[in-house]
Structure formats: structure tokens, C-alpha cells
Amino acid sequence: MEFKAVRVTEHVYWVGAVDWSVRDFHGYSTERGTTYNAYLILADKITLIDTVKAQFKNEMLARIASVVEPTSVAYIISNHAEMDHSGALPAVIQELQPEKVFASVMGAKALNEHYHLRSPIVPLKDGDGLNLGKLNLKFIETRMLHWPDSMMTYLTEERLLFSQDGFGMHLASGKRFADEIDEGVLRLQAAKYYANILLPYSSLILKLLERVAELSIPLDIICPDHGPVWRRDVGNIIDWYRAWAQQSPQPKALIVYDTMWQSTDLMARSIADGLSAEGIEVRMMRLRANDRSDVMTEVLDAGAVIVGSPTLNNGIFPTVADFLTYMKGLKPKNKLGAAFGSYGWSGEAAGLIADELKAMGIELVMEPLKVKYVPDREVLIKCRDAGVRVAQILKQRTNDGKAG
């Protein structure tokens, strides 16, 4: 195999793999593919930070071999045990026979529970250091960002943070650095990653950012485990993270729905018209036309989430139920909400949606809006008025900063 490492700094090389073809990452649509980033530190103790998904092991070893003899790797550090970063680890340990393999205390446990390794993993505590000769590493435990084992590794002399999933995105590219990629693409893919992976841990992210500021850790480069390396203006991605973690409601409404015979669709369109007329940015996303992970990206900065479903067999339409389950797990905060939908005879869906939204802590701003069979002009005026009402409350909240 002929693959080359990419130089990041004087001592650090990218030795990961680009997965151009993956389109589903445990239920998250990866329309742009992804990368599994591993990094090689050329120090007296040559050190590999994370590995790659199992099937890309040989690509990673070939990239390492373009810089050093792979068996000269002395240390391997696993920042995160999830299999997209540790899948190749057991075979790599077997082939390279490193002196030591390190992980957080929880990481050592998790790796053993995944791979039942014969050789021990050296556990590291928060704040521990590791001398590699002329270079020094420091470990920052980031438990539940986003797994119990997660940690980050800071390379002091190069002011460089290996941030595992943090500050990453699913984006396959021939470019290795964020400053070589369009900022709109970066922001969209980073937001999608945040909304679908990190959102439930937003309060921990704010604490981490505070801690980094308090410790005055100088940060010039961020090397995540997915997507490009941030080597310029790292403040930009940190500012994006701070804003997403704060979850301040924006004057934007998302209408998420599905429809059987277009009645719920007509209601959605009328609600959207009322919202737009009040100057609110609107997104309408029918669930059979949009992947749930793309809908979550829009939830991230929406101040209002309005959910609609026809009643099917006394319940919520399956795509809408799927989305509600998914959104509930991601624990969005500071949202206004409303429920609507058409029905034929029993009409439970809108009420069930309202119950689900309430259980998520979403503040309902109106009674569920329901229509039997097909909405007439009067009903559509009611729907439009409902859109106007939601918009007015949302504008008041975003102006006052009182939402939530």
C-alpha cells in the first residue's frame, strides 16, 4: 500500500484514513463521508495518538511507514475507545509491540471490555503528564464528552490539542486543514456533528471551555479524530462550540412533520406562512424527505420546534415517532414547541406529540392543533394564525433573552 503521512507540525504527522464511502454512521447520515484521524508524534519515544476503524489499519500503517519504521512506535495513546478510533488497536498492538499503551482509567476498562486484550493498558488520570524525551504530553479527562472514557491529550511544546471527537466533523476531503476548506461547509458539518453527538453534553462543554480558559492553556492547533485539523484561528471553532453549547434560542422555527394525504402538509405550510410573515426564519422538513440527523442540525439553533403528524392506527406516524425518540435522547434546551396534525376518526397523534415535547422540557405555546380529514379555509387560517402567534412569542423571547 502506498500512502503518505501528512505533516502537521515539526513533530506531528497525520497518519489516519479517509473514508469517502461511508453514508451511515450508527444512524447519522454521513453524506460527505468521514475521516478517522490518527497522529504520529516524532519524539524520542515515538507516539501514536489513536488508531483508525479496523478496516483501515493497513492504510494507517502505510502512512506511518512513510515517516518511520512502524515497529519504532514506542507508545500508543487511546483518547477514545469507540471502535472508529480503536478498531485497529488490537492488531496494531500485535504487529508493532509498543512498549506501552495508555488510556484514561475508564478507557483502559472500556478497551478491555471491547477487545479482551492480553497486554495491560496503562491508565492515566486527569492532569497526568508523560515525557516523550524533548516533548511532553498532558492528559485532560473529558468524561462523557462523549463517552465515559473520553480524554484529550495536549502536546505542550507545540501548543497542540489532540481532541478526539471534540471539534470534529464527518467530512471526507483531500484537504487535511480547515483553512483549506470552505467555511460554510466546515460550519455546517461541525454543527451537524455537534447536534447529533455532543448536544446532550453541552453543559460539560461549557465547563471544559471555562477550564481551558482558567488554566490559560495556549492553543494554536486542534487535531480532532474526524475531519480537518484546525491550525489557524482555532478561536472560530471554539466560538461556534460556545454558542452551540449555550443553546440560546434564535428567531428561527423548524416545522418537522410527515403526512399521508397532504392534510398535515397543508397545515404545516400555513403555519410556516404565519411564521414567515412575522419575519421568523422558517425550515420545513418532511421526515420522509429528510434524514433525522439533518433535522437535528436545524434543531440546534431553532428557537421553536413545531411537530406535526397524521394519526395512524391511533398513534403517531412512524417517521415522526422515530424523530421524537431521537431528539429526546439529544436533550435540546431552551425551545418553544407546538404540535399539530390531521386525523380521520380517533385523532391521538397531535396530543401524543405534545406529551412527548413536554416530557423533553420543550415549552408548549399552544394547544395541539388538529383537523379532521382535510383542512378547509377556516382551519388553514387558524394554522396561519398559530404560526403568527408562535412567531410573536419567539420574537419576544429572543429579544428578552428569556427563553428557557
Determine if 252 is a binding residue for ligand FEO (CB under 6 A). no
Interface residue with ligand FEO among 226, 335, 384, 397 (CB under 6 A) is 226
Footprint on residues 80-109 left by ligand FEO (CB under 6 A): 80, 82, 84-85
State the minimum distance, in angstroms, from the CB of residue 195 to ligand FEO. Answer: 15
What span, in angstroms and rounded, lies between the C-alpha atoms of 352 and 342?
13
State the minimum distance, in angstroms, from the CB of residue 61 to ligand FEO. Answer: 20
Per-residue 3-state assignment (H helix, E strand, C coil) for the chain? CCCCCEECCCCEEECCEEECCCCEECCEECCCCEEECCEEECCCCCEEECCCCHHHHHHHHHHHHCCCCHHHCCEEEECCCCHHHHCCHHHHHHHHCCCEEEEEHHHHHHHHHHHCCCCCCEEECCCCEEECCCCEEEEEECCCCCCCCCEEEEEHHHCEEECCCCCCCCCCCCCCEHHHCCHHHHHHHHHHHHHHHHHHHHHHHHHHHHHHHHCCCCCCEEECCCCCEECCCHHHHHHHHHHHHHCCCEEEEEEEECCCCCHHHHHHHHHHHHHHHCCCEEEEEECCCCCHHHHHHHHCCEEEEEEECCEECCEECHHHHHHHHHHHHHCCCCCEEEEEEEECCCCCHHHHHHHHHHHCCCEECCCCEEEECCCCHHHHHHHHHHHHHHHHHHHHHHHHCCCC
Q: For residue 242, count other CB atoms closer than 10 A to its CB.
A: 14
Output 165 or 301, the one with its CB closest to ligand FEO.
Answer: 165
State the minimum distance, in angstroms, from the CB of residue 16 to ligand FEO. Answer: 11
Rounded to 5°, the CA angle 120-162-138 comes to 65
Output 165 or 298, the one with its CB closest to ligand FEO.
Answer: 165
Output 167 or 340, the one with its CB closest to ligand FEO.
Answer: 167
Partner residues linked to 250 by β-bridges: 302
Output 204 or 365, the one with its CB closest to ligand FEO.
Answer: 204
State the minimum distance, in angstroms, from the CB of residue 146 to ligand FEO. Answer: 6
Of residues 251, 248, 260, the one with CA closest to residue 283: 251
Output 165 or 356, the one with its CB closest to ligand FEO.
Answer: 165
What span, in angstroms and rounded, lies between the C-alpha atoms of 268 and 390?
13
Footprint on residues 126-165 left by ligand FEO (CB under 6 A): 146, 165
Distance in Å from the first CA to the final CA of the chain = 54
Partner residues linked to 258 by β-bridges: none
Q: Which stretch binds ligand FEO (CB under 6 A): 76-84, 215-223, 265-273, 386-394?
A: 76-84
Q: Residue with the closest Cβ to ligand FEO?
A: 82
State the minimum distance, in angstroms, from the CB of residue 114 to ligand FEO. Answer: 13
Q: Which stretch binds ligand FEO (CB under 6 A): 61-69, 79-87, 110-118, 280-288?
A: 79-87
Footprint on residues 314-373 left by ligand FEO (CB under 6 A): none
Q: Which stretch binds ligand FEO (CB under 6 A): 78-86, 103-111, 364-372, 381-389?
A: 78-86
State the minimum distance, in angstroms, from the CB of residue 83 to ligand FEO. Answer: 8
The site string for ligand FEO over 162-191 (x = CB under 6 A, - otherwise) reads: ---x--------------------------
State the minimum distance, in angstroms, from the CB of residue 249 to ligand FEO. Answer: 28
Q: Which stretch binds ligand FEO (CB under 6 A): 42-50, 66-74, 77-85, 339-347?
A: 77-85
Interface residue with ligand FEO among 19, 50, 141, 225 (CB under 6 A) is 225
The single-letter code of the amino acid at 59 is E
Output 192 or 226, the one with its CB closest to ligand FEO.
Answer: 226
Residues 6+ apart with CB under 8 A from 262: none
Output 197 or 350, the one with its CB closest to ligand FEO.
Answer: 197
Q: Report the catalytic residues.
A: 26, 80, 82, 84, 146, 165, 193, 226
Output 28 or 340, the one with its CB closest to ligand FEO.
Answer: 28
How many residues make contact with ligand FEO (CB under 6 A)?
Answer: 8
State the minimum distance, in angstroms, from the CB of residue 62 to ligand FEO. Answer: 22
- Binding residues vs ligand FEO (CB under 6 A): 80, 82, 84-85, 146, 165, 225-226
